[in-house]
Amino acid sequence: MPRPDKHATATPGTALDAMRPVARAGLIIVLVFFAGLGSWAAIAPLQSAALGPGVLNVESQRKTLQHLEGGIVGEILVSEGDGVSRGQLLIRLDRTQAKANLAQLEIRHHALRALEARLIAERDGRDDMAPTSPTDNAELAKAIESEINVFSARRRSLEGEEKILRQRILQFEEEIAGLKGQIAAQTTQLKLIDEELNAQKSLYERRLVGMQRIIELKRERSEIIGDRNRERAAIARIKQNIGEEELKILELTTSRLNDSVGQLTEVQTTLADVRERLVAARDVLERTDVTAPLDGHVVDLRVHTVGGVIGAGEALMDIVPLAERLVVDARVNPMDIDSIHPGMTARVVLTAFNRRTVAPVDGVVLSVSADSLTDSRTGAPYYLARVELPEDALAEQAELELSPGMHAEVMIITGEQTALQYLYQPVARSFSRAMREQ
């Protein structure tokens, strides 16, 4: 019986039989792979997240320094990036105009205070206008001295006018005294005439004298009575003149008092206005020194030229606060906002550092803006989510020098889903919309 040739060609059936175990093994491997993949897709949880760009910031934001009135730059005492402390002088503006305005108001204030003191003294009828309290201010002392001179002059003028009127009253009173003396003499004459007339009448009744003497005595008596009545009428007229002069004195005093009270009201109103303007002028002068409102670093310095002009309300520089909690302000797509709320976990990737060596930092969502905002450059809407970076998370990467303004990528963890759900949900939503279409 012949031996089979080792080098003989195998038949197709024989080759197929030889490949079947290999194919079967490969098929099993593929089936196992897809079964495992399907099981993993159906069971293994994957985190879902809302992604957005962010910027590292301090919680209270950096402070922009502005100047209310503006002015001419006198000194620039800081440079970009300098560390500053609260109250430190940063920029000094030219003080010439502010000082001049304040000086004018102070002079006006001193003059009004002195005028007020003089008018009060006149209103109260005082004999002098001594200052109520000593002052070391030369301008105020000068103004008070000037008003004292005015007060004295007006006082002398008033006293002079009153003296003239009182002298006239004294003259009238002397005239009245003279007339009263004449009336007294006339009354005495009438008494004597009456006695003589009675005697003559008695003699006439006894026919010892004629009627002629009686008639003469009656005529003389009538003349004296007429003179006495005229003197009394003159006294009444003179008393009326005295009353008029006294009224003039009263009117003179009252007019001077009313004038002082009216001026005092106006002066006190003006003085109150000047005091308010003085406060504002001192504030303007103080604001020529621009100081740091808090400890921090100077950034975005916008003033570089001594002698340059800055406008009212113009921003001068920003101060980034020190020792404040770091946060990340992230921009969230409006499509994701319904699943984001404070307290969620957020993973922050600091893009300024090498991702291979610097691990992401886990933070917590502090707040979400109540309404959408708009990017001023692109016009795209977004929601602002503020993410806190806990101190313990930052302590693990203490070697990193974090500064406000650094960019970051923020992933806000919104939940967990399986891979199968990720694949199935878009298809299910599309199918649901398709079934609702008419």
pLDDT given at position 203 = 84
Half-sphere exposure of 159 (CA within 13 A, CB side): 10
Residue 435 to residue 438: CA distance in whole angstroms: 8
The DSSP string of 291-330 is: E-SSSEEEES-----TT-EE-TT-EEEEEEESS--EEEEE
Residues contacting residue 288 through CB under 8 Å, at least 6 positions apart: 71, 74, 92, 93, 94, 95, 98
Residue 99 dihedral angles phi and psi, to the nearest 5°: -65, -40
H or E stretch including 121? helix 96-123
| Fold (CATH) for 63-93+288-317 | OB fold (Dihydrolipoamide Acetyltransferase, E2P) (2.40.50)
Half-sphere exposure of 271 (CA within 13 A, CB side): 15
- Domain ranges in the chain? 45-60+324-424, 63-93+288-317, 99-286
The three-state secondary structure class of 48 is strand
pLDDT given at position 355 = 73
Residue 102 to residue 80: CA distance in whole angstroms: 33
Residue 290 dihedral angles phi and psi, to the nearest 5°: -90, 115
Sequence letter at residue 76: I
The three-state secondary structure class of 347 is strand
pLDDT given at position 299 = 86
N- to C-terminal Cα separation, the chain: 83
pLDDT given at position 223 = 92
Q: Which of 178, 248, 190 is nearest to 218 (CA)?
A: 190
Query: What residues pair up with 308 in beta bridges, in sequence order?
Result: none
| Fold (CATH) for 45-60+324-424 | Elongation Factor Tu (Ef-tu); domain 3 (2.40.30)
Do the Cβ atoms of 90 and 287 come closer than 8 Å? no
Both tokens of residue 12? 């197709």
Residue 408 to residue 328: CA distance in whole angstroms: 8
Residue 257 to residue 328: CA distance in whole angstroms: 73
H or E stretch including 234? helix 212-286
Do the Cβ atoms of 324 and 63 come closer than 8 Å? no
Query: What residues pair up with 66 in beta bridges, in sequence order?
Result: 315
pTM: 0.54
pLDDT given at position 214 = 85
| Distance of alpha carbon 423 from the chain centroid | 60
Q: Which of 332, 325, 335 is nearest to 412 (CA)?
A: 332
Q: Which of 359, 430, 412, 425 is nearest to 48 (CA)?
A: 412
Residue 225 to residue 230: CA distance in whole angstroms: 9
Query: What value, to the nearest 5°, has the Cα angle with vertex 41 and ends 37 and 47?
Result: 135
Both tokens of residue 308? 């340059």
Residue 248 to residue 246: CA distance in whole angstroms: 5
Rg value, the chain, Cα: 57
Residue 163 to residue 249: CA distance in whole angstroms: 9
pLDDT given at position 7 = 47
Residue 412 to residue 420: CA distance in whole angstroms: 21
H or E stretch including 64? strand 63-66
Number of helices and strands (H, E) in the chain?
Answer: 6, 15
pLDDT given at position 6 = 47
Q: Which of 340, 390, 394 is nearest to 367 (CA)?
A: 340
Residue-level pLDDT, tens digit, the chain, 438 residues: 445 444 444 455 555 555 566 666 676 777 776 666 666 555 555 556 678 888 887 766 678 898 888 899 999 999 988 889 989 999 999 999 999 999 899 888 888 888 888 888 888 888 777 655 556 677 777 888 888 888 888 888 888 888 898 999 999 889 999 989 999 998 999 899 888 888 888 888 888 777 888 888 889 889 989 999 999 999 999 999 999 989 988 888 888 888 888 888 999 999 999 999 999 999 999 989 999 988 888 888 999 999 999 999 889 998 888 756 778 888 888 888 888 888 888 888 888 777 777 778 888 888 888 888 888 888 889 999 888 887 776 666 666 777 777 888 888 887 665 555 555 555 555 555 555 555
Do the Cβ atoms of 146 and 113 come closer than 8 Å? no
